[in-house]
Protein backbone atom coordinates (compact mmCIF):
# COMPACT_ATOMS: atom_id res chain seq x y z
CA UNK A 1 0.00 0.00 0.00
CA UNK A 2 2.52 2.61 1.11
CA UNK A 3 4.85 1.41 -1.63
CA UNK A 4 2.42 2.39 -4.35
CA UNK A 5 1.83 5.74 -2.74
CA UNK A 6 5.54 6.45 -2.52
CA UNK A 7 6.00 5.61 -6.19
CA UNK A 8 3.31 8.11 -7.09
CA UNK A 9 4.86 10.80 -5.01
CA UNK A 10 8.21 10.23 -6.69
CA UNK A 11 6.76 10.16 -10.14
CA UNK A 12 5.04 13.39 -9.39
CA UNK A 13 8.14 15.42 -8.67
CA UNK A 14 9.45 14.33 -12.05
CA UNK A 15 6.61 14.58 -14.47
CA UNK A 16 3.29 15.86 -13.13
CA UNK A 17 2.52 18.82 -15.36
CA UNK A 18 4.56 21.93 -14.71
CA UNK A 19 3.14 22.71 -11.32
CA UNK A 20 5.88 23.26 -8.74
CA UNK A 21 6.50 19.96 -7.07
CA UNK A 22 4.76 20.73 -3.79
CA UNK A 23 3.68 24.31 -3.18
CA UNK A 24 1.44 23.25 -0.35
CA UNK A 25 -2.22 23.30 -0.98
CA UNK A 26 -3.92 26.50 -2.01
CA UNK A 27 -7.24 27.59 -3.38
CA UNK A 28 -5.54 28.55 -6.63
CA UNK A 29 -3.83 25.22 -7.02
CA UNK A 30 -7.01 23.33 -6.33
CA UNK A 31 -8.93 25.28 -8.97
CA UNK A 32 -6.05 24.82 -11.43
CA UNK A 33 -5.99 21.10 -10.90
CA UNK A 34 -9.75 20.85 -11.18
CA UNK A 35 -9.68 22.72 -14.50
CA UNK A 36 -6.91 20.45 -15.76
CA UNK A 37 -8.96 17.41 -14.88
CA UNK A 38 -12.03 18.88 -16.54
CA UNK A 39 -10.12 19.68 -19.70
CA UNK A 40 -8.65 16.22 -19.96
CA UNK A 41 -11.48 14.03 -18.75
CA UNK A 42 -14.67 16.06 -18.95
CA UNK A 43 -17.20 16.32 -16.17
CA UNK A 44 -17.04 12.60 -15.44
CA UNK A 45 -13.29 12.82 -14.90
CA UNK A 46 -13.69 15.47 -12.25
CA UNK A 47 -14.26 14.83 -8.56
CA UNK A 48 -12.96 16.19 -5.31
CA UNK A 49 -11.25 12.88 -4.69
CA UNK A 50 -9.47 13.00 -8.02
CA UNK A 51 -8.38 16.59 -7.51
CA UNK A 52 -7.00 15.57 -4.13
CA UNK A 53 -5.25 12.54 -5.60
CA UNK A 54 -3.65 14.71 -8.26
CA UNK A 55 -2.37 16.90 -5.44
CA UNK A 56 -1.06 13.92 -3.51
CA UNK A 57 -3.41 14.31 -0.60
CA UNK A 58 -6.75 13.14 0.67
CA UNK A 59 -10.08 14.65 -0.26
CA UNK A 60 -10.62 15.93 3.27
CA UNK A 61 -7.68 18.29 2.94
CA UNK A 62 -9.42 20.34 0.29
CA UNK A 63 -12.12 21.46 2.68
CA UNK A 64 -9.76 23.94 4.24
CA UNK A 65 -9.77 25.92 1.00
CA UNK A 66 -13.13 25.14 -0.52
CA UNK A 67 -16.45 24.89 1.27
CA UNK A 68 -17.84 22.17 -0.97
CA UNK A 69 -18.10 20.93 -4.51
CA UNK A 70 -20.45 23.68 -5.56
CA UNK A 71 -18.07 26.37 -4.43
CA UNK A 72 -15.31 24.67 -6.40
CA UNK A 73 -17.56 24.71 -9.47
CA UNK A 74 -18.21 28.42 -9.00
CA UNK A 75 -14.50 29.14 -8.68
CA UNK A 76 -13.77 27.13 -11.81
CA UNK A 77 -16.41 29.01 -13.74
CA UNK A 78 -15.11 32.35 -12.62
CA UNK A 79 -11.59 31.41 -13.62
CA UNK A 80 -12.79 30.37 -17.07
CA UNK A 81 -14.69 33.64 -17.41
CA UNK A 82 -11.44 35.41 -16.61
CA UNK A 83 -10.19 34.36 -20.03
CA UNK A 84 -12.98 36.10 -21.90
CA UNK A 85 -11.59 38.75 -24.21
CA UNK A 86 -13.24 42.09 -23.54
CA UNK A 87 -12.96 44.22 -26.66
CA UNK A 88 -11.78 47.82 -26.41
CA UNK A 89 -12.83 50.80 -28.51
CA UNK A 90 -10.96 49.52 -31.54
CA UNK A 91 -13.33 46.58 -31.74
CA UNK A 92 -15.97 48.21 -33.92
CA UNK A 93 -19.29 49.64 -32.87
CA UNK A 94 -21.11 48.54 -29.74
CA UNK A 95 -22.99 45.80 -31.48
CA UNK A 96 -19.95 44.19 -33.03
CA UNK A 97 -18.21 44.38 -29.71
CA UNK A 98 -21.15 42.88 -27.84
CA UNK A 99 -21.38 40.06 -30.33
CA UNK A 100 -17.63 39.49 -30.10
CA UNK A 101 -17.80 39.47 -26.32
CA UNK A 102 -20.57 36.91 -26.21
CA UNK A 103 -18.88 34.68 -28.73
CA UNK A 104 -15.70 34.91 -26.70
CA UNK A 105 -17.59 33.96 -23.54
CA UNK A 106 -19.16 30.95 -25.21
CA UNK A 107 -15.79 29.89 -26.60
CA UNK A 108 -14.21 30.05 -23.16
CA UNK A 109 -16.88 27.71 -21.89
CA UNK A 110 -16.53 25.41 -24.85
CA UNK A 111 -12.75 25.15 -24.56
CA UNK A 112 -13.09 22.82 -21.60
CA UNK A 113 -15.52 20.01 -22.10
CA UNK A 114 -18.15 20.11 -19.38
CA UNK A 115 -17.83 23.85 -18.71
CA UNK A 116 -21.03 24.59 -20.59
CA UNK A 117 -23.11 22.38 -18.38
CA UNK A 118 -21.30 23.79 -15.40
CA UNK A 119 -22.11 27.37 -16.43
CA UNK A 120 -25.81 26.71 -16.74
CA UNK A 121 -25.91 24.98 -13.36
CA UNK A 122 -23.58 27.18 -11.33
CA UNK A 123 -23.75 30.80 -10.36
CA UNK A 124 -20.58 32.76 -9.92
CA UNK A 125 -20.41 36.21 -8.46
CA UNK A 126 -16.64 36.35 -8.66
CA UNK A 127 -14.64 39.29 -9.94
CA UNK A 128 -14.33 37.97 -13.45
CA UNK A 129 -18.05 37.47 -13.78
CA UNK A 130 -18.66 40.98 -12.50
CA UNK A 131 -16.12 42.31 -14.97
CA UNK A 132 -17.95 40.57 -17.77
CA UNK A 133 -21.33 41.83 -16.59
CA UNK A 134 -19.94 45.34 -16.32
CA UNK A 135 -18.67 45.20 -19.90
CA UNK A 136 -22.03 44.01 -21.20
CA UNK A 137 -23.89 46.70 -19.27
CA UNK A 138 -21.60 49.34 -20.73
CA UNK A 139 -22.10 48.09 -24.28
CA UNK A 140 -25.86 47.91 -23.88
CA UNK A 141 -25.91 51.49 -22.69
CA UNK A 142 -23.99 52.53 -25.78
CA UNK A 143 -26.57 50.64 -27.78
CA UNK A 144 -29.35 52.77 -26.38
CA UNK A 145 -30.63 50.41 -23.72
CA UNK A 146 -31.03 52.79 -20.82
CA UNK A 147 -33.68 51.62 -18.39
CA UNK A 148 -32.09 49.58 -15.60
CA UNK A 149 -34.89 47.07 -15.84
CA UNK A 150 -34.28 46.48 -19.53
CA UNK A 151 -30.53 46.36 -19.03
CA UNK A 152 -30.84 43.68 -16.38
CA UNK A 153 -33.23 41.65 -18.47
CA UNK A 154 -30.95 41.88 -21.48
CA UNK A 155 -27.80 40.97 -19.56
CA UNK A 156 -29.49 38.01 -17.99
CA UNK A 157 -30.96 36.80 -21.25
CA UNK A 158 -27.76 37.21 -23.25
CA UNK A 159 -25.52 35.47 -20.74
CA UNK A 160 -28.06 32.77 -20.12
CA UNK A 161 -28.38 32.04 -23.79
CA UNK A 162 -24.66 31.99 -24.43
CA UNK A 163 -24.27 29.54 -21.55
CA UNK A 164 -27.11 27.41 -22.84
CA UNK A 165 -25.47 27.14 -26.24
CA UNK A 166 -22.30 25.92 -24.59
CA UNK A 167 -24.25 23.44 -22.49
CA UNK A 168 -26.02 22.11 -25.55
CA UNK A 169 -22.80 21.67 -27.48
CA UNK A 170 -21.36 19.99 -24.42
CA UNK A 171 -24.16 17.47 -24.36
CA UNK A 172 -23.59 16.77 -28.04
CA UNK A 173 -19.94 16.02 -27.48
CA UNK A 174 -20.73 13.44 -24.84
CA UNK A 175 -23.67 11.72 -26.33
CA UNK A 176 -23.00 12.26 -30.01
CA UNK A 177 -25.19 14.48 -32.11
CA UNK A 178 -28.78 13.98 -31.00
CA UNK A 179 -30.05 15.05 -34.39
CA UNK A 180 -29.10 11.58 -35.49
CA UNK A 181 -31.46 10.05 -32.95
CA UNK A 182 -34.12 12.51 -33.96
CA UNK A 183 -33.77 11.63 -37.63
CA UNK A 184 -34.10 7.99 -36.71
CA UNK A 185 -37.18 8.66 -34.64
CA UNK A 186 -38.65 10.60 -37.53
CA UNK A 187 -38.03 7.76 -39.95
CA UNK A 188 -39.72 5.38 -37.53
CA UNK A 189 -42.83 7.53 -37.22
CA UNK A 190 -45.60 7.67 -39.78
CA UNK A 191 -44.98 10.53 -42.23
CA UNK A 192 -48.40 12.09 -41.75
CA UNK A 193 -47.91 12.44 -38.00
CA UNK A 194 -45.16 15.03 -38.21
CA UNK A 195 -45.46 16.57 -41.66
CA UNK A 196 -43.44 19.70 -40.96
CA UNK A 197 -40.63 17.80 -39.34
CA UNK A 198 -40.52 15.33 -42.22
CA UNK A 199 -40.06 18.20 -44.62
CA UNK A 200 -37.22 19.45 -42.45
CA UNK A 201 -35.48 16.12 -42.72
CA UNK A 202 -32.96 16.89 -45.41
CA UNK A 203 -32.09 20.28 -43.99
CA UNK A 204 -31.54 18.49 -40.72
CA UNK A 205 -28.97 16.21 -42.26
CA UNK A 206 -27.02 19.12 -43.70
CA UNK A 207 -27.26 21.03 -40.43
CA UNK A 208 -25.42 18.27 -38.60
CA UNK A 209 -22.20 19.09 -40.35
CA UNK A 210 -22.43 22.81 -40.50
CA UNK A 211 -23.25 23.69 -36.89
CA UNK A 212 -20.08 25.59 -36.29
CA UNK A 213 -18.93 29.09 -35.52
CA UNK A 214 -21.55 30.56 -37.84
CA UNK A 215 -24.43 29.01 -35.94
CA UNK A 216 -23.08 30.39 -32.69
CA UNK A 217 -22.74 33.95 -33.96
CA UNK A 218 -26.06 33.74 -35.74
CA UNK A 219 -27.93 32.60 -32.68
CA UNK A 220 -26.46 35.36 -30.58
CA UNK A 221 -27.19 38.01 -33.21
CA UNK A 222 -30.77 36.81 -33.20
CA UNK A 223 -30.94 37.49 -29.50
CA UNK A 224 -29.40 40.93 -29.79
CA UNK A 225 -32.04 41.79 -32.37
CA UNK A 226 -34.67 40.67 -29.89
CA UNK A 227 -33.19 42.87 -27.20
CA UNK A 228 -33.21 45.88 -29.49
CA UNK A 229 -36.77 45.25 -30.51
CA UNK A 230 -37.90 44.99 -26.90
CA UNK A 231 -36.05 48.18 -26.09
CA UNK A 232 -37.70 50.08 -28.94
CA UNK A 233 -41.08 48.79 -27.86
CA UNK A 234 -40.69 49.84 -24.22
Partner DNA sequence: ACCTGAACACCGTTCAAGT
Nearest Cα neighbor of 22 from 48, 56, 58, 60 is 56
Rank residues 72 and 223 by Cβ distance to a second copy and give the closer one: 223
Spatial contact of 226 and 145, defined as CB atoms under 8 Å apart: no
Binding positions for DNA, 9-38, rule CB under 7 A: 24-25
Residue from 148, 190, 192, 212 that binds a second copy (CB under 8 A)? 148
Spatial contact of 227 and 144, defined as CB atoms under 8 Å apart: no
Rank residues 53 and 69 by Cβ distance to a second copy and give the closer one: 69
Angle at the Cα of 117 (from 227 to 121), degrees rounded to 5?
75
The binder of 185, among a second copy, DNA, none, by C-beta within 5 to 8 A per type, is a second copy
219 binds a second copy per the rule CB under 8 A: yes
Pinpoint the alpha helices (H) of the chain.
2-15, 27-41, 48-54, 69-81, 94-111, 115-121, 127-142, 148-175, 178-188, 195-210, 213-233
69 binds a second copy per the rule CB under 8 A: no
Separation of alpha carbons 41 and 110, rounded Å: 14
CB of 94 to DNA, least distance (A): 41
Spatial contact of 159 and 220, defined as CB atoms under 8 Å apart: no
Spatial contact of 99 and 217, defined as CB atoms under 8 Å apart: yes
Binding positions for a second copy, 99-118, rule CB under 8 A: 117
Binding positions for DNA, 55-84, rule CB under 7 A: 56-61, 63-65, 68-70
197 binds a second copy per the rule CB under 8 A: yes
221 binds a second copy per the rule CB under 8 A: yes
The binder of 47, among a second copy, DNA, none, by C-beta within 5 to 8 A per type, is DNA
Interface segment toward DNA; rule CB under 7 A; list 41-49, 146-154, 196-204, 209-217: 41-49
Separation of alpha carbons 216 and 26, rounded Å: 36
Torsion sign across C-alpha atoms 168, 172, 173, 174: positive
User: Can you give the binding site for a second copy, defined by CB under 8 A?
Assistant: 70, 117, 120-123, 125-127, 130-131, 133-134, 137-138, 141, 148-149, 151-153, 156-157, 160-161, 163-165, 167-168, 171, 175, 178, 181-182, 184-186, 189, 193-197, 199-200, 202-204, 206-207, 215, 218-219, 221-227, 229-230
Amino acid sequence: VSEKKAAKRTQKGVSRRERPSKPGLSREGIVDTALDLLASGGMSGLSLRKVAAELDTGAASLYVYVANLRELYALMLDRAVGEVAIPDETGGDWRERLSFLLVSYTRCLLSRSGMGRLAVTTMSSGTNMLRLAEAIAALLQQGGVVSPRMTLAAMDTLLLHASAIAAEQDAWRDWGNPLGAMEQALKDSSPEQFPHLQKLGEALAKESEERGADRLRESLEMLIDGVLQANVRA
